Amino acid sequence: MFKLYKNKFPTLTLFKTIEGEKFGGYSSISFREEGIFHDPDSFLFSIDYKRKYKPRQFVDYALNLRSDRGPRFGHSPDMGTYKNMKNGWITYDKYSTFLINDIFTEGKEKEYEFSNIEIYQVIIEWL
């Protein structure tokens, strides 16, 4: 999966669960290599709950990239995928970068099985 988004930016990652929930994350920087990256413009979102979650702390840990899995967002990490790319999680704790402690997470970690993961490069044209 790393090959799909390496050196592409900005990116929008969309997750759809087998239960039909839809959410994702935005990154304004390029995933050039494995590591943890600063991105104050990144955010998470829930399509179902129509909410956007900006970084609130630990912005230096906004993005976490490993070549053996998809993009992971936040310090904890707050949202990401496991190695099999079929399962992932959303969590909220005192180390979370994004403030997602609401109906989206019910204040605890939630695990998901994905039916689809899509990564898009966002192209901005200024007129």
Q: What is the CA radius of gyration of the chain?
A: 13
Query: In sequence order, which ranges of the chain are alpha helices (DSSP H)?
Result: 2-5
How far is residue 57's CA from residue 10's CA, in Å, rounded to a whole number?
Answer: 21
pLDDT of residue 16: 93
pLDDT averaged per 10 residues, the chain (length 127): 68 90 87 79 88 82 79 81 80 74 66 88 82
pLDDT of residue 96: 77
pLDDT of residue 115: 92
pTM of the model: 0.83
Pairing label, strands 72-73, 110-121 = unpaired
pLDDT of residue 20: 92
How far is residue 29's CA from residue 41's CA, in Å, rounded to a whole number?
Answer: 9
**β-sheet with 35-37: strand ranges across:** 35-37, 63-65, 72-73, 79-81, 87-90, 110-121, 11-17, 22-27, 43-46, 51-53
pLDDT of residue 36: 84
pLDDT of residue 94: 74
pLDDT of residue 6: 67
Collapsed DSSP state (helix, strand, coil) of residue 100: coil
Q: How many CB atoms lie within 10 A of CB 102?
A: 13
How far is residue 62's CA from residue 55's CA, in Å, rounded to a whole number?
Answer: 7
Angle at 54 (CA atoms; ends 56, 120), nearest 5 degrees: 140
